[in-house]
Amino acid sequence: MIHQQNAELERPAEASSAVASDNGLRVMLIVNGVRSPVRIEPRVSLLDALRERLHLTGTKKGCDQGACGACTVLLDGERILSCLTLAIQCEGREITTIEGLALDGSLSPLQRAFITHDGFQCGYCTSGQICSAVGMLHEFDDGVPSAVTQDLASLSLEFSDEEIKERMSGNLCRCGAYVGICGAIRETHHAGATR
């Protein structure tokens, strides 16, 4: 399934705290539970703000065109492509990167499953794959259909290999670790872990 940018990326209705100056806008980003003021130009992508301003380099710049999924992060729990999202659109919203998925310093169940199932080789796409999988598991659990969902009227979806592949199709792995990626996602879902 191709990533769909959140239709509600527009700024919240309340007044913005962004402050303009000669050095750009001062924007408050909430990343992995930490409020971080950054000074940026309005055209700076969330990806560049994360990597260059906040030094969170786990989120990767692959194609920088929204085609590969390496830059996937979670915005208010939904997966988005950070290379296509302006940082100022995310002010005051909860951004979760790969660095924020660990629980109390321990890898999340999904991260551990990726290791167990060899869900990566070079690792470049892995952070985007994992963040996308977290969002995908939430979408599936919420009953959001995909292009391969057979019965849209049914309240229960079948967590099949076809569903996993379709829902993760916006994340490319040039090494071809798809079997391990699907295995890790399947194990995490069956264990009832959402992250």
Residue 48 belongs to domain with CATH number: 3.10.20.30
Q: Tell me, what's the pLDDT at 44? A: 98
162 lies in some domain: yes
Q: Would you say residue 154 has pLDDT above 70?
A: no
The share of the chain scoring above pLDDT 90, in percent, equals 74
- Domain end residue (candidates: 100, 118, 136): 100
**Element counts in the chain: helices (H) and strands (E):** 5, 6
65 lies in some domain: yes
**Beta carbons within 10 angstroms of residue 159's beta carbon:** 16
- Domain end residue (candidates: 75, 100, 125): 100
Q: Return all residues near 179 (Cβ < 8 A) that are at least 6 apart.
A: none
- 151 in the same domain as 113: yes
- Total domains in the chain come to 2
d(CA 174, CA 95) in angstroms, rounded, equals 26
Query: What residue numbers bound the domain in which 39 lies?
Result: 19-100
Instruction: Give pTM, 2 decimals.
Output: 0.86
- For strands 24-31 and 72-75, give the pairing: unpaired
- 96 in the same domain as 27: yes
As given in the structure block, the two tokens for residue 155 are 């309240």
pLDDT band at 136 (very low <50, low <70, confident <90, very high): very high
Q: What residues pair up with 37 in beta bridges, in sequence order?
A: 28
- Domain end residue (candidates: 100, 119, 145): 100
As given in the structure block, the two tokens for residue 135 are 């969002």
- 117 in the same domain as 71: no
**CATH at 117:** 1.10.150.120
Mean pLDDT, residues 18-26 taken together? 70
- 184 in the same domain as 137: yes
1 lies in some domain: no
